[in-house]
Structure 1
Amino acid sequence: MRRIGQRLYEELKRIATIFVYLWIVFGVLVLHESLVLSRHGINYDFYGFAFINSWILAKVMLIAESLDVRPRWQGRPLIYPIAVRAVGFAMLLVCAYAIEETVIGLWRGRTLAASVPAIGGGGLRGLVVITVIMAVALVPYFAFRELGRVLGRDRLRALMVTGAVGPSSNSTGSGGA
């Protein structure tokens, strides 16, 4: 039972970390959108979007992170797994959002065509732009995860918070930052 409790605690910490990160990213994007729209006299205050979608997409990311492809990147510079994960997860999050909005639209009685969201204003260009924005926003998250894996979570935390450089060890495993 203790082992199950420890595992549950670790998973809760992971989803909380992902949720908080996504909430901050989405919150900043919503804040930016409200600023841009206010320039045109349009009031936009839907901050609940950031909270709700962060929670839903954090669960999607948690499940997707469990599908580890790390051995493919062994011995390569960290930029490869960071970039590939950021782009891959950005595409995953955009697809998950589109599916979520489509299902909600269908549940509310709209047609399939009316339920598909116009991501980034609609069209391929909007989809690509939002995916690029999400990929760039996810780079710091995956950079910290990979650095935590290589340096060790405790050492990375010490470097980031206290500036102390401890002995080089990776005794914390591959759980990430």
Structure 2
Amino acid sequence: MIETLPEGMLSMKSEVAEPAPQCGGHERARAARLKERAIEEFKRFVVLFLYLWVLFGLFALHERIVLREQGINFTAQGFALVNALVLAKVMLVAESLNFSRWLNRRPLIYPILHDAFLFAVLFIAFHVIEDLVIGLIHDESVRASIPVIGGGGVVGLLCVAVILFVALIPYFAVKYLNLALGPGQLKALLFDDSKR
């Protein structure tokens, strides 16, 4: 029966049959892009987590040194790990919102300082909200749930904000330098002997 059909109909029939493999190929390509994006997001999460873990670990180590000078033995490295995990996810979500896009045409120092400031404020706000929620779960009043930051008061809060701001500058400096230089260039400059 196929032999008796005119040539034009055979070609039309083959044209109709061809899109099915392309559709499957399109779905495979889309799945591959999603997988690649998930891997990139996971890598970003790991970098954020490690940076924050080191940062919070150093804060905990400093706190331990200060308390030992007062004769108090205290270790908070577990809090550093948990906070790094939670805040890395918060930071990943907030970074995807790209609050600094309005600074794209400005010198790199502007988005670096803007993001360091913004995320220092975000971390403090998240810490307050986290403690409020935990306090409300344990049936504490809102006032009793508000955390004491930096020893309490406005001065303590400002001290913690300045410390976080300065500590986040290197992360954002590396991030924006990497974007400005192009994919893989900063890594090559830092770790490739042939670039010297």
Q: TM-score, normalised by structure 1?
A: 0.89
2:52 alignment partner in structure 1 = 22
What SS class does the counterpart of residue 44 from structure 1 fall into?
A: coil
- Cα distance, 1:87 vs. partner? 0.6
* Corresponding residue number in structure 2 for 1:92: 122
Per mean C-alpha deviation after superposition, the further-off stretch among 128-137 and 1-10 is 1-10
Taking the TM superposition and a 5 Å limit, the aligned residue runs for 1:1-177 are: 1-165=31-195
2:87 is matched by which residue type in structure 1? L
1:155·1:165 contact (CA, 8 Å) conserved in 2? no
Q: Which amino acid aligns with 1:148?
A: N
How far apart are residue 149 of structure 1 and its match? 0.2
Q: Report percent identity of matched pairs.
A: 46
1:165 Cα deviation from its structure 2 partner: 3.1
The Cα of 1:72 is off from its aligned counterpart by 2.0
Question: 1: distance between equivalents of 2:129 and 2:41?
Answer: 25
Q: How many residues end up aligned between the 2 structures?
A: 166
Considering only CA atoms, is the larger Rg found in Structure 1 or Structure 2? 2
Secondary structure of 1:54's aligned partner: helix
Q: How far apart, in 2, do the equivalents of 1:69 and 1:91 lie?
A: 13
The Cα shift of 1:163 comes to 4.7
Higher alpha-carbon deviation: 118-127 or 69-78: 69-78
SS at match of 1:75: coil
TM-score, with structure 2 as normaliser: 0.80
- Matches of 2:193 and 2:104 in 1, distance apart? 28
Q: What SS does the aligned partner of 1:121 have? A: coil
Q: 1:38-88: CA deviations, max 9, x gaps?
A: 000011112111000111111111111011144422332211110111011
1:114–1:59 distance in 2 versus 1, CA, 3 Å: same
**Distance in 2 (alpha carbons) for counterparts of 1:70 and 1:104:** 31
Q: Which runs of 5+ in 1 are unaligned?
A: 167-177
**What are structure 2's unaligned runs of at least 5 residues?**
1-30
The one-letter amino acid paired with 1:160 is: L
Is residue 120–residue 130 contact of structure 1 (8 Å, CA) maintained in 2?
A: yes
Supply the RMSD in Å over aligned alpha carbons: 1.4
Identify the structure with the greater helix proportion.
Answer: 2
How far apart, in 2, do the equivalents of 1:90 and 1:122 lie?
17
Task: Give, in whole Å, the separation in 2 of the partners of 1:115 and 1:17.
Answer: 31
